[in-house]
Structure 1
Amino acid sequence: MAKEPAVPASGDDARLIERFLEMMAAEAGAARNTLLAYERDLRGASAELEGGMSEAGRDDIRSLGESWMTLARSTVARKSAALRRFYGFLAEEGLRGDDPSAALPRPSQGRPLPKTLGRGDVERLFDTIAAEVATGKPLALRLAALFELLYGSGLRATELVSLPRAAIRKGSPFLILAGKGGRERLVPISDRALAAVEAWRVHVPGDAAWLFPSGKKHLTRIRLYQIVKELAAKAGIPPDRISPHVLRHAFATHLLEGGADIRALQTLLGHADIATTQIYTHVDSARLVELVNARHPLVDEPGSAA
Structure 2
Amino acid sequence: MHENMEKYNKTIVTEFILLGFETIRSAEILIFITFLIIYALTIIGNVALIALVLANHQLQLPMYIFLINLSFLELIITSAVMPKMLINFITGKKNISFVGCLTQSFFYFLMGSTEFFILAVMSFDRYVAICYPLRYASIMNRNACFQLLLGSWIGGFLIILVPSIVTAGLPFCGPNIVNHFFCDSAPLLKLVCADTSLAEKVDFGTSCILLLGSLLITVVSYIYIIVAVLKIPSTQGRKKAFSTCVSHITVVSLYYGSSIVIYVRPTKGNVLDFNKIGTVLNTIVTPMLNPFIYCLRNEKVKDCLKLSFSKIIMFLKK
TM-score class, shorter-chain normalisation, is: under 0.3
Q: What's the TM-score, normalizing by structure 1?
A: 0.25
Q: What's the TM-score, normalizing by structure 2?
A: 0.25
Bigger relative CO (Cα 8 Å, ≥ 6 apart): 2
Larger radius of gyration: 1
